[in-house]
Amino acid sequence: MKKLLVASVSVMAFVSAAANANVQPEKINLASLINTAMTNVKMAEVLPANDARIVVKKQSTAILTEETQISLHKNLLAKTQREESLVEKAGE
């Protein structure tokens, strides 16, 4: 009796699995999905900022800032040395 019960349960499980396997998955309308995504997402927000113009502008600004700092430092050093030599001459 137990064997018959186990066998019938196994058959029912097999039939259920077979019936569920035949059910087609719901088809997705890809065109509609793409249109929705395109209207809701701005590509500029998704794509990285890799515009060459922006990169060159940032690099040139950094280089200009660095060169300006070097030039200011050299001028300040020259001015300090000049003032020190004037003070030494005045002290003599």
pTM of structure: 0.37
Distances, alpha carbon 68 to alpha carbons 5, 49, 74, in Å: 91, 27, 10
DSSP at 11: H
pLDDT tens per residue across span 36-87? 777 777 766 666 666 777 888 889 999 999 999 988 888 888 888 888 887 7
- Residue-by-residue DSSP string for 34-87: HHHHHHH--HHHHS----HHHHHHHHHHHHHHHHHHHHHHHHHHHHHHHHHHHH
